Chains A and B, each alone.
Chain A
Amino acid sequence: MLAQLDELYAQSLDSLATAVNTAVLDTWYKDTLGRKGSIYLLTRQVGQLPAAERPAFGQRVNAVKQELETAYEARLAELKAAELQAEITASAIDVTLPGRKQWRGGLHVATQTLREIYRIWGDMGFQVYRSRDVETDEYNFELLNIPPHHPARDMWDTFHTTTPGVILRTHTSPGQVHAMHEYYPEPIRVILPGMCYRYEQITARSELQFHQVEGLAVGKNISMADLKGTLTDFARRMFGAERQVRFRANYFPFTEPSAEMDVECIICGGDGCNVCKYTGWVEILGCGMVHPTVLRNGGYDPAVYSGFAFGMGPERIAMLKYRIDDIRYFWGNDLRFLEQF
């Protein structure tokens, strides 16, 4: 019977080796080591052996079982690995096929630029102060030292409404006076963003509405030197630390002295191109020391207080940074434009 067992063992190992897949292997297991398998059937015949031989036979059966189990496990692992390999090979994909696209939302480029401006000025202690779009002539002009019919009014082509004395603000400067009235006698550092309106044809270069961000600082110890330092810091953060800036004299009725800040052309790096009209510089903002009349109109005594103000156009800044050559893209809201930001 031992010989029978050894023969069965040898046969089983042979057929194990020929099992080509896990399904065949499962059958082999059932037939060999299963509850009604060949090993079991053989052990049932143990009663036919003399009692003295039985322990040795039993040991041998257990050893054979153990070895077959081990051989089975090894073969199973081998076959599983082969099957996985086959499946992986069969299911390879072309990774260069296009991906499944997601809808992507976005902020308008003007909003993105405004936020950048808010962030830089926020770091310097300037907070956002907003005021209305539809304004009185008094706040838009007169309190800013621009009397009726003054030639300075030529600087702002104005939309008038059918209500006399009511206009669409031409700049966010009215907010300067509103802020001064609200905060007197505290020192002030605010920026004044908002939509402004000018009586201008809509062309690649001019728009009838545009954002402006003005700034106002009022205190007892503020001079042109503070203005220059603060605005230079702003320009370096907005356009890059290595960027050169220059200040030149200019005119605004609500500031005196007044200046314009130019930044080294970011397109040509100062060599000259059609964007900077071959000067190497582009105008970024107007600024100056708050005119004593404006301080007085805001409630601040110009003999005690001084301050600076500045104004810039976020769209213009965005046009320079992203090389947008037509301002009409901004309110045209063509998704093929907006989705590029």
Chain B
Amino acid sequence: MLVPISWLKDYVDISMSPAELADILTIAGLEVEGVDYIGIPGGRDKNRLVWDRDKLVVGQILKVEQHPNADRLVLATVEYGGDETEVTVTGAPNLFQYLSQGDLSHLKLYSPFAMEGVELYDGHKEGQVKMVLKGRPLRGIHNRCMLCSEKELGLSDDHEGIMILTGDYTPGTPLQDVLGDAVISIDIIPNIARCASIVGVAREVAALTGQKVRYPSYDVVMEGPPVAGKVQISTDHPDLNPRFTAMIISGVSQKPSPGWMQRRLKLAGQRPINVVVDISNYVMLEMGEPNHTFDYDFLRRRADQYNGPDGPVHIITRLPNEGETVTTLDGVKRELPETTILVTDPAGALSLGGIMGGEESEISAATTNVLLEAAAWNFINIRRSATLLKLNSEAGFRFSRGVHPSQAILGAKRAAELLRQLAGGTVWQGVIDYYPNQPEVAPMRLTAVEVKRLGGIDLTNTQIKEMLEALEFTVEDQGDALLVTSPDFRLDITGTHDLVEEVCRMYGYDRLPSIEMGDTLPPQRSNTRLEQEERVKDILVKQGLQEIISYRLTTPEREAKLLPPGIGAPPDDRPYVTLANPITVDRVTMRHSVLASVLETTAANSRFKSHIALFEIGLIYLASEEGVLPDELGRLALVLTGPQQKFFWQSGGDSAALDFFDLKGVVEGLIGALHIDNFSVEAAAHPTFRPGRTARLLLGEKQLGLMGEIHPLVVEAFDVRNGYPVLGLELDLELLLAAIPPWHHIEPVTNYPAILEDVALVVDRLTTAAQVEEQIRLAGGYLLKAVELFDVYEGQQVGAGKKSLAYHLTFQSPNKTLTDKDVKKQRQRIVQQLERNLGARLRD
């Protein structure tokens, strides 16, 4: 909402600066988004033009004569408050009509007059470029001054002619005092719909500064015939159209509206059209009631058909019939949602109630008699219809936020009187006012205790009464409580909590007390799930991985890249949670895989980084078998790729590539740090991973997740470009976190010496390291502290189909120094057990 301060001053005095006004409005909930200064100082934009008070003044054009040496130039004699008049050369086309007419002073031709040395915008350059006016000869006549266009003053882009000021002025008055202004822009949030008008803002300013609003006059001089019997109104839906008022004004002429009105409309962001349309817009902007003018003769001609020449015009508001359409005044033929309330007559639809007029019944250039409508509409229904129609209008903006029915008759009267004064119309006597179910206004009981309980402020009844009365509430002090009735322009007050807010606003949010909470502390609970999640993140970060957070919206096609081409079934065939209104084609469904997100990020980073180590903890969304809401499940995904070592100058930068065992080391580190003890890994197969380098992670019998080298075709599909193998993993976070013991016991630290033994065992090639280690540990018993594989060999020395695994074994006792004999016995047990269970033999 654009509010020119000059207009606002019609209804309330303003002695503070625009910036100060913006501040008090903002604190009171009318957020000022900006202040546009016109010609006057203020604001922080250093490039904006400020009109010089001495050198930019109102000039009166006294005479216009032909330039002796140029056909396209004239000489204007201007009175500007100086000792003598000034003759200035101009090519303004709008002055040629006054050529050779002698003394023009009776015409009161005023225009902004700029003197040598003043700063202006250059009228001949694109946009706003400042220049300094310099005196120079123009075709032989020295020219020191200039009459200005709107563009040169920064008022508009218009440089067609000089600006003519309408009204009475004293030549020499600084232009700042005449046209200088500030326009404040207010964000109309839903609870201040009442402020979507200049008067609405004036009410707030008045209440905040201790003034009374000077309301515009709603008196009408009615000199036409009685309107009774000429118009009949009915509605099928008083809930959707609670009030409908109509007046008739005859004999209007569609000339341009007066300059002051055009200027105000322009400052408020409206384009002037003609006096009839402008008055309608002006009244809407002034006091907030959108209104509509129909061509009365058009309505009358139809009534002749359906009611006969003596019957009234019959306005009916109703919902559309099936398949009904209306062509709105913007020329668009509209299919109507079933909720759209229409203004009709028995012959057909006339307009979309509260949203936009119809083309057919609209006033035309030939119209002289108008039927003026000012009505009230259900705001929720208007919002729904306007949304479905995708139709934004100033009327719809206001009606969809709520305009109180009380305003309808005021709007009608104000517009009618202006049509009489400015358009030469005759107002017919009486107003047709259809208001079938005028609601009872129920007063509310407000106590000072309630104001304290919610607002935290200690106030007396008298203080509260004064504050509410400033906002035009009616307040009766009953001693133990205040009986409060809302003013008739407000729809947003539904209970005492709303009154408390009004009291807080009047008291000033900045002055509200500020205290430490003294209320009972609730029982304190830990969020174990979150704490565990954060612990997992910390462990992975310590291992050198970077956390990422991805979009949770993706597409099935993007996730299908996890499967090499030709592999049909997706990893999870439960349906996706799919958006009905996606904003972009690549964010349509809620993801099923966090690994896909991490691989996408890996690919994006692979363009400029070779070593990438990422993880993400986040949710996936799987349609639920029960209920409409999906299961939201935690997943941890991790990707490693690139060189193991960072580039270092000494080694020439060479490093081995990260491989499966780097990834496995990270997992083992994580599991170890979480003190989970039933973890194991076994070979597995899955299309996302490279066959032979894929593993299943197990917690007991349950599958925790899969890891491995990402299949080369999947790497290619995701377009990871660093040229290294890509290792990936996705695991079930829910299962992982549930396995974390709440606490664990430590092993005592022993000072008895450890004894190291090496053993090399030859086993079948297909026997896994996990099987061998399991057997070693089983046989080794509690004295065996550590088993460390240090060599794997396959080749001639051990024979075909065999491999050798060599281990460092560490033996240590918590309570004695082990002898060689003790260790030998232990080692022998291990070898025997492996011979027995795995067919192993000692390597010589």
Contact = CB atoms under 8 A, between A and B. Distances in A.
A217 interface: yes
B752 interface: no
B15 interface: no
B646 A97 contact: no
B593 to A, nearest CB: 16
Interface string B191-204: 11100000000000
B604 A152 contact: no
Interface in B499-547: 500-501, 504-505, 509-510, 512-527, 529-530, 534, 537-538, 540-547
Interface string A96-129: 0110111111111011000100000000110111
Interface stretch (A2-10, A27-35, A185-193): A185-193
B647 interface: yes
Interface stretch (B581-589, B776-784, B835-843): B581-589
Given A103-B544, A105-B546, A225 B513 contact: yes
17 contacts: A97-B649, A98-B649, A105-B543, A134-B577, A151-B401, A159-B582, A161-B579, A163-B628, A189-B522, A202-B584, A209-B551, A251-B29, A257-B500, A302-B497, A330-B549, A333-B614, A338-B546
Contact of B548 (A101, A108, A165, A223): A108
B127 interface: no
A249 B504 CA distance: 8
B543 A224 contact: no
B44 A278 contact: yes
Given A165-B628, A306-B454, A257 B504 contact: yes
A-B pairs, top 3 by smallest CB distance, nearest first, are A225-B456, A249-B29, A223-B456
A251 B580 CA distance: 29
B498 interface: yes
B44 A272 contact: yes
Given A133-B632, A219-B519, A256 B497 contact: yes
Given A189-B522, A251-B190, A331-B550, 17 more contacts: A106-B541, A133-B632, A161-B579, A162-B579, A199-B583, A201-B583, A223-B452, A225-B455, A225-B515, A226-B456, A226-B517, A247-B509, A247-B510, A277-B33, A334-B605, A335-B546, A338-B547
Nearest to B623: A163
> Size class of A's contact patch?
35 or more
B497 A291 contact: yes
A221 interface: yes
B31 interface: yes
Nearest to A200: B583
Interface string A308-341: 0000000000000000000000111111101100
A333 B549 contact: yes
Contacts of A224: 454-457, 504, 512
A150 interface: yes
Contacts of A332: 604
A142 interface: no
A80 interface: no
A219 B512 contact: no
A232 B514 contact: yes
Nearest to B617: A111
A338 B27 CA distance: 38
Interface of A: 97-98, 100-108, 110-111, 115, 124-125, 127-130, 132-136, 147, 149-152, 154-155, 159-163, 165-166, 168, 183, 186-189, 195, 197, 199-202, 208-209, 217, 219-226, 228-230, 232-233, 246-251, 253, 256-260, 272, 277-278, 289, 291-292, 302, 306, 330-336, 338-339
A133 B380 CA distance: 28
Contacts of B156: none
A250 B512 contact: no
A105 B536 CA distance: 13
A178 B453 CA distance: 25
A134 B605 CA distance: 30
A232 B108 CA distance: 60
A149 B649 contact: no
Nearest to B513: A225
A108 B27 contact: no
B552 interface: yes
Interface in B692-749: none
A251 B191 contact: yes
B611 interface: yes
Contacts of B765: none
A333 B601 contact: yes
B487 interface: no
B27 A248 contact: yes
B527 A130 contact: yes
B527 A127 contact: yes
Nearest to B611: A103
Contact of B400 (A132, A151, A166, A197): A151
A256 B578 contact: no
Given A100-B648, A105-B545, A159 B581 contact: yes
A278 to B, nearest CB: 4
A189 B498 contact: no
A220 B454 CA distance: 11
Contacts of A251: 29, 189-192
Contacts of B524: 125, 127
B526 A127 contact: yes
B687 to A, nearest CB: 26
Contacts of A306: 453-454
Interface in B620-668: 621, 628-630, 632, 646-649
Looking at B27, B509, B527, the one whose CB has the most chain A CB atoms below 10 A away is B509
A131 B338 CA distance: 37
B26 interface: yes
Given A135-B629, A228-B514, A209 B552 contact: yes
Contact of B648 (A101, A110, A208): A101
Nearest to B545: A105
Looking at A101, A104, A223, the one whose CB has the most chain B CB atoms below 10 A away is A223
A249 B28 contact: yes
A186 B522 contact: yes
Given A130-B527, A306-B453, A249 B505 contact: yes
A289 B577 CA distance: 35
B242 interface: no
B213 interface: no
A147 to B, nearest CB: 8
A257 B506 CA distance: 12
A200 B587 CA distance: 12
B609 interface: yes
B401 A221 contact: no
B44 A335 contact: no
A115 B549 contact: no
A151 B190 contact: yes
A161 B501 contact: no
A166 B578 CA distance: 10
Nearest to A135: B629
B308 interface: no
Contacts of A233: 516
A228 B601 CA distance: 42
A257 B527 contact: no
Contacts of B551: 208-209, 331
A229 B514 contact: yes
B31 A248 contact: yes
Contacts of A336: 608
A173 to B, nearest CB: 16
B590 interface: yes
